[in-house]
């Protein structure tokens, strides 16, 4: 029975992986809302597997490696597929089979820029796995945050409340900039605060409370649009804290 219980976190991790695989296929096929939904589901499973491992004291090297591989698919490959399809829409107004795309060389370069997301995601996870310093913060943007950002970019297309801004948000230039920016943020060495708390003291957690309060306002007022802005808010706050040498 103990051996079975120890596999519960790994089972939840495989649900993360499965969600990421499904999201990837939906993204390639142009169904970005379903891709976004399954990436969000993957993020829930990613949270639950860690909680289950702590609750059941079921840690293992296999689980650690499986978690990283699952995160790469769900929050690296699937978001890269979403970005690739968004770039297709921005360039050709259509989602096509890759071998049917008739593009100039520079348009292929634009499309291939989407591959930076999974590649840099893999580098970010590799750096995280070999970091033995036990720092109470992240180095670079956690890859699940990258996944949620691109999931929301897919979901927003199905909720055209602010469609008048779509030409700006989903322009080829801005999509490439966002792809490069988010990829770079995953591998940057800048400290970024974690939401894990050891106590509820305001003095030790004020920056977390500030972020959560602002994120709540964004999510309540903008709904699905607030997801992407919440991730950008997290990045901006960390850049500000880094410049002003705030200690986490």
CATH number at residue 176: 1.20.120
The pTM score is 0.94
Q: How confident is the model at residue 114 (pLDDT cuts 50, 70, 90)?
A: very high
Give the whole-angstrom CA distance, residue 128 versus residue 134: 10
Q: Residue 64: which residues within 8 A CB-CB, separation 6 or more?
A: 129
- The total of other beta-carbon atoms located within 10 Å of residue 15's CB is 17
Q: Which two tokens stand for residue 81?
A: 């597929």
Residue 51 inside a domain? The answer is yes
Residue 107 inside a domain? The answer is yes
Q: How confident is the model at residue 177 (pLDDT cuts 50, 70, 90)?
A: very high
The mean of the pLDDT values for the chain is 92
What are the tens digits of pLDDT across the range 16-75?
999 999 999 999 999 999 999 999 999 999 999 888 888 887 778 888 899 999 999 999
Residue 143 inside a domain? The answer is yes
* pLDDT for position 229: 96
Residue 64 inside a domain? The answer is yes
Q: Residue 169: which residues within 8 A CB-CB, separation 6 or more?
A: 153, 156
- What average pLDDT does this structure show over 142-151? 97
Q: Which two tokens stand for residue 89?
A: 């829409």
**3-class DSSP assignment, residue 49:** helix
Q: Which two tokens stand for residue 169?
A: 């948000």
Task: Give the range of the structural domain holding residue 86, as residue numbers without chain letter.
Answer: 2-243
Q: How confident is the model at residue 106 (pLDDT cuts 50, 70, 90)?
A: very high
Residue 248 inside a domain? The answer is no
- Listed residue (150, 160, 126, 154) closest to 140, CA to CA: 126
- Listed residue (40, 8, 10) closest to 23, CA to CA: 40
Q: What percent of the chain has pLDDT over 90?
A: 71
Reported as half-sphere exposure (CB side, CA atoms, 13 A), residue 79 has a value of 34
Compute the CA torsion angle 131, 67, 20, 225 (nearest 10 deg): -50
* pLDDT for position 1: 66
- Listed residue (204, 186, 185, 199) closest to 248, CA to CA: 204
Predicted confidence (pLDDT) at residue 238 exceeds the cutoff of 80: yes
**Into how many domains does the chain fold?**
1
Q: Residue 66: which residues within 8 A CB-CB, separation 6 or more?
A: 10, 13, 14, 17
Angle at 241 between CA 238 and CA 244, to 5 degrees: 150
Give the whole-angstrom CA distance, residue 17 versus residue 202: 36
Q: What percent of the chain has pLDDT over 70?
A: 99
* pLDDT for position 76: 97
What are the tens digits of pLDDT across the range 179-232?
999 999 999 999 999 998 888 888 889 999 999 999 999 999 998 899 999 999
Predicted confidence (pLDDT) at residue 5 exceeds the cutoff of 80: no
Question: How remote is the C-alpha of 178 from its chain's centroid?
Answer: 13
Q: Is the model more confident about 79 or about 3? A: 79
């Amino acid at each position: 029975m103990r051996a079975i219980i120890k596999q519960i976190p790994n089972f939840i991790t495989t649900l993360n992986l499965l969600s990421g695989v499904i999201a990837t296929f939906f993204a390639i096929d142009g169904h970005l809302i379903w891709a976004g939904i399954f990436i969000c589901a993957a993020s829930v499973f990613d949270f639950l597997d860690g909680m289950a491992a702590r609750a059941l004291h079921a840690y293992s090297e296999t689980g650690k490696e499986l978690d990283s591989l699952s995160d790469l698919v769900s929050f690296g490959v699937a978001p890269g597929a979403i970005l690739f399809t968004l770039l297709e829409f921005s360039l050709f107004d259509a989602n096509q089979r890759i071998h049917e795309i008739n593009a100039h060389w520079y348009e292929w370069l634009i499309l291939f820029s989407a591959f930076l997301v999974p590649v840099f995601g893999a580098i970010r996870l590799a750096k995280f796995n070999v970091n033995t310093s036990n720092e109470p913060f992240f180095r670079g943007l956690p890859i699940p945050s990258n996944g949620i950002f691109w999931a929301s970019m897919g979901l927003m297309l199905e909720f055209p409340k602010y469609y008048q801004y779509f030409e700006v948000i989903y322009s080829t230039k801005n999509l490439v900039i966002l792809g490069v920016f988010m990829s770079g943020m995953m591998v940057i060495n800048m400290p970024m605060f974690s939401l894990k708390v050891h106590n509820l003291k305001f003095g030790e957690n004020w920056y977390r409370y500030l972020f959560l309060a602002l994120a709540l306002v964004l999510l309540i007022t903008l709904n699905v649009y607030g997801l992407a802005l919440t991730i950008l808010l997290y990045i901006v706050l960390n850049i500000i804290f880094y410049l002003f040498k705030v200690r986490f």
